[in-house]
A and B are shown apart, each in its own frame.
Chain A
Amino acid sequence: MSTTPLLHLQHLQKNFGHFRALKGVTFDVYPGEVFGFIGPNGAGKSTTIRILLGLIRASGGTATLFGRPVWQDSVQIHQRLAYVSGDVYLWPNLTGGEIIDLLLRMNDQAHTTQTDTLIHQFGLDPTKKARTYSKGNRQKVALIAALSQEADFYIFDEPTSGLDPLNERLFQAAVLALKKRGKAVLLSSHILSEVERMCDRIGIIREGQIIETGSLAAMRHLTRTTVAVTLGDDFDVTTLPGLHAVTPGHAAREWQFSVDADSLATTMTTLAEHHIAALQSTPPTLEDLFMHYYAKE
């Protein structure tokens, strides 16, 4: 991984009148990585992305892409950037095919065989007027235009919310291919399994602030592992320190609990002394992490 980030955000702020939409967003995205940007509705994901695109102006902080300020140099930056918005609105009386070509040409690029392959793979009818497309088909138009564009930084804002599972897979494969070629991807998504599968690092935003960034593995250390255990004797698990939500199981000597990452080792050592008959441990999913941070007031 290169040490100079492509995207650099430092204490980014945005006020809409008296409403503070972004209170301080700081994170970096490096070449060759997929950065997952997650958070509840209204947390400031789209606002952040729109600042990156130069559509709205930050009230404070710095934001640079390829080392250039995003507001002043948006035109130069956009030569090397591809973007798919969450709600895709297309000119109603143009066909999908026309829109794809137009968007490519505006980046001085052309319709290639790659474009045709993508149109075929996603199963888009490019001769239909955009007015008649469903949400999923509108998203396909934007995705095909972005994926067949040669760029260094890709921004996807909830790109798969209207796609069927087959097309979702196609999208994920395409993003992993971009990553292999050393491109940087900023992926904002609600589909946590998708983020879990694809992202190298994750930033969680809540109420206009980044509350956690890091790899999924590192984040897992910050939360609890769920454990179900069947012991060989009548040891009372509730006496152990560092456990939470301890409940007896259906059968005797069966327990369920969750354990903090730093108490996991001592817990396991103690349990081993009581003849573990069966053990099932579930690492926290991104959903658990998400809930953990979101619920924490």
Chain B
Amino acid sequence: MSQYHKTGLLLRLNCRRDRWRIVIWIVVLAALMASVAAKFDGIYGTPHEIEAIRQTLASPGIVAMFGAFHFTGRVTTAEIFANEMLLFMALIQVIMNLTLSIHATRSDEDQGVTELIRAHTVGALAPLAAAMGELVIINGGLSVLYGLGLQLAHMPGATTSGNWLIGLGLGTTGLLFGTVGVLTAQLADHAASATGLAYALFGISYLARMITDVQHPQSTWWSPLGWIEKLSPYQHPNWTPVGLSLLLTFVILGCAVFANAHRDLGSGALTTRPGRRTASPLLRGPLSLIWRQQRNIFIGWLLGITLFGVAYGTVFNTIGNILKTNPTMQQVFGRAMVHDANHQILLNFTSLLAIVMASVAVIPGLQLVLKLHTDETHGWLEALYARPLSRSRLLVSYVSSALGLSTVAYIGGLAGVIVTGNASLDHVQDGISTAEFWQTIAAQLPMIWVFLALGVGLVGWAPRIKALSWGYLALGFIAVYMGGLLQLPTWVQRLAPTGWMPRVPVHAVNWTTFSWMVALSVLVLFLGWLGYHRRDLQLR
């Protein structure tokens, strides 16, 4: 009996179990790509438009966000498209792959499903192989849909080989990081730590790519996430990144298979140590229980987002120095103008970065808010609610922790950017002032609170569809992040709270907007509390 016996059966089972997840991811991603491509000629069709955006894309601030691409000769619409979309789509695809791969491996093992399956005539490596098969099908399917979508969109300057190169480039990048998830699932001893480990590797790849892009684009080859920028699909199609991704996928898969063969079911290379015999005197209620359970995650997020900010801060000097891209400016306009211009660039960069930081800071808080319902369905709250503990007290414990965590994470992330950024500048007066920093903080906090309040509302009234809050956050982020470059209509940018406040620190905080957004969060929080207070708990 081979090690892979019944892989096919398990693969079919996985695909059936995950069919809605898979369909939603694939449809959303393929539709996003194809619709942007179809619209692109209308946005950047004329040589004048192309020239304007080409200069924008060359500025270090945009390079830090969207990657360094090389333009030569006459630039086509398709090349601009590749520049704006490749890295962005790769990021979403990596997130999809990490979610699905850990779900298909470690989560099953945590829930005892793998044990149940392995008791039958199923090969030892079959569950892992089935998970890989699922990733290959999803990424392969997406590659084909991307290729077809781009063919149909028929952008000026697009070539057939370029279209398929984009499809396969994104597919192999996705597969590569999906395999990273499969590997971390073997190393960690439960799903949450496997996810944390995988995202840490993803974060390192991203930061390596960002810093090298801004300072020395050749070095971006060292980050697997940077390979996607090297495809150059519509100029000199380069298939090396596809090959490299596949090669590294096989190497990582080999490690995963080795790790899988050398560990016991249900355990990992990083094992759980014995803990305290009695509880610390501080562990005595719901708030301290949340802290005790989640402290590693809290600390990880705060450190992670601050480091993320620090990494962005290190590129301030390159971005905020207009003379590097426009050396004659000082002679023409004089020193004062140059400083003004530099300051303006940094304000712009900070305003976009603030939205990135705030959106990222929503994630741990929203996870915690939704965990209130997840814990409920896991049966963990049953023991708590058998104690003299009111619904309100538990809800307030979760929600206040979530609000605090997201708020501190955002302030920490932005502080990381600004402190490091200002320190890196040759001319301190070009940097972001303390007043501007606090304006930026004030501008995004209401948005964070509205998203968390929305999560509480869902937990209170419609916990089954709580995952929609992630979709709404993604929509809000994409609408604002890509809104400028894709020239999305204003109403699209205002669909979610991310787009309600003017860009700060470029503009001043609108305190009216601030006030009603805070009022809205309070109202939705109250409604959520009302619902949670009244409804039946959903237990196993």
Contact = CB atoms under 8 A, between A and B. Distances in A.
A81 interface: yes
B471 interface: no
A126 interface: yes
Contacts of B534: 57
A90 B380 contact: yes
Interface in B510-540: 534, 536-537, 539-540
Contacts of A76: 388
B525 to A, nearest CB: 21
Interface residues of A, number: 44
A131 B534 CA distance: 32
Contact of B284 (A81, A105, A131): A105
Contact of B380 (A91, A95, A105, A131): A91
Contacts of B380: 89-91
Contacts of A95: 274-277
A79 interface: yes
A53 B388 CA distance: 10
Contacts of B382: 53, 55, 85, 89
A101 B388 contact: no
Given A97-B277, A111-B278, A78 B388 contact: yes
Interface in A83-127: 83, 85, 87-95, 97-103, 105-108, 111, 126-127
Contacts of B325: none
Contacts of B280: 98
Nearest to B292: A94
A155 B383 CA distance: 12
Contacts of B276: 95, 97-98, 127
Contacts of A74: 385, 390
In this complex, the member of B279, B536, B540 whose beta carbon has the largest number of chain A beta carbons within 10 angstroms is: B279
A80 to B, nearest CB: 9
Contacts of B539: 50, 55
Contact of A129 (B275, B283, B385): B275
A126 B190 contact: no
* Chain B, interface SS category: loop
A22 B384 CA distance: 25
A53 B385 contact: yes
B16 interface: no
A290 to B, nearest CB: 25
Contacts of B387: 78, 103, 106-107
Interface in B248-302: 272, 274-280, 283-285, 289, 292-293
A143 to B, nearest CB: 12
Contacts of A93: 272, 293
B283 A92 contact: no
Contacts of A127: 274-277
B389 interface: yes
A89 B375 CA distance: 10
A108 B189 CA distance: 34
A188 B30 CA distance: 53
A24 to B, nearest CB: 19
A218 B387 CA distance: 36
B378 A97 contact: no
A224 B274 CA distance: 55
Given A54-B385, A89-B382, A75 B283 contact: no
A100 B277 CA distance: 10
A97 B275 CA distance: 9
Contacts of A94: 275, 292-293
Nearest to A119: B277
A60 B540 CA distance: 23
Contact of B383 (A75, A81, A103, A126): A103
Nearest to B538: A56
Contacts of A78: 385-389
Nearest to B387: A106
A92 B536 CA distance: 24
Contact of B278 (A79, A88, A97, A132): A97
Interface string A64-79: 0000000000111011
A142 interface: yes
A129 B190 CA distance: 12
B379 interface: yes
Contact of B390 (A75, A81, A98, A100): A75
A55 B537 contact: yes
Contacts of B189: 131
A127 B279 CA distance: 10
Contacts of A75: 388-390
A90 B384 CA distance: 10
A106 B385 contact: no
Nearest to B280: A98
Contacts of B284: 102, 105-106
A56 B277 contact: no
A91 B285 CA distance: 14
A108 B277 CA distance: 20
B537 A101 contact: no
Nearest to B385: A55
A98 B292 contact: yes
A113 B275 CA distance: 21
Contacts of B274: 95, 127-129
Interface string B380-400: 101111111110000000000
A87 B112 CA distance: 15
Nearest to B274: A127
Given A76-B388, A127-B274, A102 B293 contact: no
B294 to A, nearest CB: 9
B388 to A, nearest CB: 4
A56 B380 CA distance: 15
Contacts of B386: 53, 78, 81-83, 85, 155
Contacts of A57: 534, 536
A106 B389 contact: yes
Interface string B359-385: 000000000000000000011101111
Interface in B39-90: none
Contacts of A53: 382, 385-386
Instruction: Point out which of A76, A93, A94, A95 has the most chain B C-beta atoms below 10 A from its C-beta.
Output: A93
A103 B286 CA distance: 10
Nearest to A89: B379
Nearest to B540: A87
A85 B190 contact: no
A56 B537 contact: yes
A87 B190 contact: no
22 contacts: A55-B385, A56-B536, A74-B390, A75-B388, A87-B379, A89-B382, A89-B540, A94-B275, A94-B293, A97-B279, A101-B278, A101-B279, A101-B283, A106-B284, A108-B388, A111-B278, A127-B274, A127-B276, A127-B277, A128-B275, A129-B272, A132-B272
The 8 lowest CB-CB distance pairs between A and B, nearest first, are: A89-B379, A101-B279, A83-B386, A95-B275, A56-B536, A106-B387, A98-B279, A78-B388
Given A85-B383, A89-B378, 18 more contacts: A50-B539, A53-B386, A55-B539, A57-B536, A79-B388, A83-B386, A89-B382, A90-B383, A94-B275, A94-B292, A97-B275, A97-B279, A101-B283, A102-B284, A111-B278, A128-B274, A131-B189, A131-B190
